[in-house]
Amino acid sequence: MRRLHHAHLMSRDLEAALCFYTDHFGGEVVADLEFAGARNVFMRVGGAALHFYDQEPNRRGPINHLGMCVDDLDACVAELEAAGRHPRPIVDTGMGRYSMVEGPDGVLLEVFEPPPGLDPALREYFGV
């Protein structure tokens, strides 16, 4: 399995962003947690997913990265390395493992593998 899972957005007003996507597009908050020093909210919008950081947009703008879900992170990272893409070292967060890599045109990608034993709601959200 390899698929686009989410777009991760930076938000200077997280509550306003959540209300916008909930009120106008039927967004549903799946998880609201603290991660990497900031509030992170996972939202389902139709058949797609948005993740939000409670942080000012950085030099890349409000779209921080695209999340690519894979079932074998080690194999995918090895493939990216062999293609000369230079993925960053794999990080294990306890909520899964990921590696960041720059794609064509400077698009930042989070290539991640959800962990086994996820809460049922998160298993459904990640499609595993």
How do the domains of the chain map onto residue ranges? 2-126
Please tell me the least confidently modeled range out of 15-19, 72-76, 106-110, 122-126.
122-126
Q: Tokens representing 121? A: 């709601």
Question: pTM value?
Answer: 0.80
Which residues in 50-65 are b (16+ Cβ under 10 Å) and which e? bbbbbbeeeeeebebb
pLDDT digits (tens, 9 = 90+) for 74-114: 999 999 999 999 999 999 988 789 999 998 878 899 999 98
Handedness of CA 20, 22, 27, 30 (dihedral sign): positive
2-126 domain in CATH 3.40.190.10?
Answer: no
Q: Which helix (H) or strand (E) holds 24?
A: helix 14-25
